[in-house]
Structure 1
Amino acid sequence: MKKVLCLYSTTDGQTIKIFKHIQKQLVGYQSELMDLHKVSQVDFQQYDRVIIGASIRYGRLNHKLYQFIEQNLAELQNNKVAFFCVNLTARKEAQKKDTPEGSVYIKTFLKKSPWTPELIGVFAGALRYPRYKLLDRLCIQLIMKITGGETDTSKEVEYTNWKKVSLFAISVVDM
């Protein structure tokens, strides 16, 4: 059976939830989910595909993602590896913020990273006000107010477009 490795970098868990959805779509593949923050080396030869998913927090991807890329650059460039970014700005689909071309986070990632993924996805995340610590809740509420998003701190809102995630999973299989 073919194998796919799913490496995640997440703050609040939505990236893992997206990966679990992707795993259900990977018919014919055995998948393994791993925390990118806890691995430094991966035996890419064990996998037919690798997917890296990372979330944005306060406008940035975690620095451990960039460290992983630096340490595994040759393998990333020589294997079938897809990447997706999870962020709340991607909820603005009408403005194309959910596309690699329209995502400021992907543009920044591609400038900072020595690696250009073969396949790139951008997915809206989830807003989980009741689960955040007070300072995070207030900061995120301010950001959402500035960007025209939900500001009611009693709410949890999931913006992820699951159909788009499914289409990405199909594209991973077709790489």
Structure 2
Amino acid sequence: MKTLIVYRSKHGCVEKCSKDLADRLSGEAVTVDLKKEKVPDLRRFDNIIIGGSIYAGRIEKEVTDFWLKNINELREKKIGLFVCGMRDEESGKTQLDNSFPEELLSKAVAKGYFGGEVTFSKMNFFERFIIKIVTKNDKDISNILSENIIKFAQAMNG
């Protein structure tokens, strides 16, 4: 079983979650950052997992571009979908549902919200300013939901 995990990670949280997920999957897993790496031929993979971060209520553009471009190939694969963000879990699930078309959501064998992180050193001035106002905090925060990653991997492995 060969799995491709494609993702977009602005500050590293989605990348961290993708690599953790890859380590938990059966068979070979390849991770690809859609902003930095070329996507290999999808025909080489049995499973495709798509993940991204939510900023201002929307998933990263590269993630949407990927599924739009590859929708026909994705119809033929076992797929999983996930998002990362700093909302509560229920809001995270809503953001997941708003980030992908119903066609993929209904086909996905695994869907997950993996939580998120705030790492001020990885943000630009404007991002730090906004996050400080919104969270009323100026310290790094990690809220990665490892149990959700484990459940997601189990569903993909099943």
**Pairing 1:51-90 to 2, within 5 Å after superposition:** 51-89=49-87
SS at structure 2 position matched to 1:125: strand
Residue 162 of structure 1, aligned match among 135, 146, 154: 146
Quick one: which amino acid aligns to residue 112 of structure 2?
Answer: G
Following TM superposition, where does structure 1 have runs of at least 4 consecutive aligned residues deviating by more than 4 angstroms?
A: 38-42
Q: Residues of 1 paired with 2:157 and 2:81: CA distance?
A: 13
Unpaired segments ≥5 residues, structure 2 = none
Correspondence 1:126 to 2:124: no
Quick one: which amino acid aligns to residue 21 of structure 2?
Answer: I
Cα distance per residue 1:52-105 (max 9 Å; x no partner): 11001222112222221121111111111111011101xx24xx334x3xx2x1
Shift of 1:131: 3.0
**Pairing 1:81-100 to 2, within 5 Å after superposition:** 81-89=79-87, 92-93=88-89, 96-98=90-92, 100=93
- In structure 2, the partner of 1:106 is 96
Q: Residues of 2 paired with 1:109 and 1:56: CA distance?
A: 9
Count of aligned pairs: 155
Shift of 1:42: 4.5
Shift of 1:41: 5.9
Please say if residues 41 and 72 of structure 1, whose CA atoms lie closer than 8 Å, have aligned partners that are also in contact.
Answer: no
Please say if residues 96 and 112 of structure 2, whose CA atoms lie closer than 8 Å, have aligned partners that are also in contact.
Answer: no
- In structure 1, the partner of 2:104 is 116
Is the radius of gyration larger for structure 1 or structure 2?
1
Shift of 1:12: 0.4
Q: Which moved more, 1:116-125 or 1:74-83?
A: 116-125
What percentage of residue pairs aligned between the two structures are identical? 22
Shift of 1:32: 0.9
Unpaired segments ≥5 residues, structure 1 = 145-150
Shift of 1:116: 1.8
Please say if residues 21 and 166 of structure 1, whose CA atoms lie closer than 8 Å, have aligned partners that are also in contact.
Answer: no
TM-score, length of structure 1 as denominator length: 0.79
- In structure 2, the partner of 1:5 is 4
Shift of 1:167: 1.1
